[in-house]
Homo-oligomer: A and B are copies of this chain.
Amino acid sequence: MTRTPAISVSHLTAHLGYWLRYVSNHVSHAFARKLEAQGVTVAEWALMRELFGVTSVSPSGVAEKLGLTRGAITKLADRLIEKGLATRTRNVKDARGQSLALTASARRLIPKLAVLADQNDAEFFSHLSLEDRRTMERVLKETVKVRGLKSTPVS
């Protein structure tokens, strides 16, 4: 017969990271489906969120905040600009730097996207008690804080 493995299966499934990834993948995937109709991807939405509520941001700044490289932001921003959702302007004071900002069109679109995000959250998490929901939110935010954003790639 088959030998009992040296490590139990239950041990294997106990990793928080595993479940996090599993659930997150499903949630993101479902959200992507919803965003599709609006011609926006999840990564683009994430960038739009960063640009929202602020006058303008440097690509490097967003890169650090989102934990992406500058190159990745360039490409994401390119796509938003192509879609008329963002603008890129060279800084006057220091012409090496740039500023990313949302267009009026993007600002009009965001509430719609936020509704989709609400719907998606509800679809997956509406069964949670208020307490569980709060714990999740708190734990996730704490983790971000405790871990910091220092994991950001350098180049």
Contacts and interface: CB of A to CB of B under 8 A. Distances in A.
Contacts of A49: 12-13, 18
Q: Is the interface of A mostly helix, strand, loop or mixed?
A: helix
In the complex this chain forms, how many copies of it are found?
A: 2
B17 A124 contact: yes
A136 B139 contact: yes
Interface in A123-155: 123-125, 127-128, 132-133, 135-137, 139-144, 146-147, 151
Given A5-B53, A52-B5, A127-B142, A137 B23 contact: no
Contacts of A16: 121, 124-125, 133, 136-137, 140
Interface string A89-129: 00000000000000000010011001001101101110110
Given A9-B53, A52-B5, A132-B139, A121 B15 contact: yes
A76 interface: no
Q: Give the size range of A's interface with the partner.
A: 35 or more
A22 B17 CA distance: 12
A25 interface: yes
